Structure formats: structure tokens, C-alpha cells
């Protein structure tokens, strides 16, 4: 799947969710909104995890580099 297909799927999913939840106010729309919310939370938590993991790696590398320079 290339980037274009993923963008099309995201647009279709968001359109269907909007129509079913806000226009028709169906249970399926509410379920799709819940799934979207969990996906958003998962994405935010994953981004934070990757950011902090990268930050700790950089700090550890800088400490090791400073030790080698001072020795």
C-alpha cells in the first residue's frame, strides 16, 4: 500500500464516521468515533514514547562522549 492509498482510506473513514455520527446519529457512528479516539490516544502515546526513547539515547550518547573526551 502506498501513501496515496492510505490517504484515501483515511479520508473515506473520516467521512463515513462524520456522516454516521453527526448527521444520522447512529450507534455505528459512535463506535467509529470511539475507535478514532483510541487511535488518536495511541498515536499520541506512541509519539511521546518514541520521543523520550530517542532523548534518552541522545543523553546517554552525550555522556559517553563526554567521558571519552575528559579521559
C-alpha cell of residue 50: 518514541
CB–CB of 14/26 below 8 Å? no
pTM flag (> 0.85): no
Q: Where are the domains of the chain?
A: 3-70
**Res 21: pLDDT:** 93
User: What is the spatial distance between Cα 15 and Cα 24, in angstroms, rounded to a whole number?
Assistant: 13
**Res 64: pLDDT:** 74
Confidence of residue 70 (pLDDT cuts 50, 70, 90): low
The residues, any chain, with a CB within 8 Å of residue 28's CB and separated by 6 or more, are 20
Q: What is the mean predicted confidence (pLDDT) over 2-6?
A: 95
CB–CB of 33/21 below 8 Å? yes
Residue-wise pLDDT tens digits, 11-56 = 999 999 999 999 999 999 999 999 999 999 999 999 999 999 999 9
Amino acid at each position: 500500500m502506498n501513501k496515496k492509498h492510505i490517504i484515501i482510506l483515511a479520508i473515506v473513514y473520516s467521512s463515513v464516521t462524520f456522516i454516521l455520527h453527526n448527521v444520522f446519529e447512529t450507534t455505528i457512528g459512535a463506535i467509529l468515533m470511539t475507535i478514532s479516539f483510541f487511535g488518536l490516544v495511541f498515536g499520541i502515546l506512541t509519539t511521546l514514547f518514541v520521543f523520550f526513547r530517542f532523548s534518552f539515547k541522545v543523553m546517554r550518547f552525550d555522556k559517553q562522549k563526554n567521558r571519552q573526551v575528559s579521559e
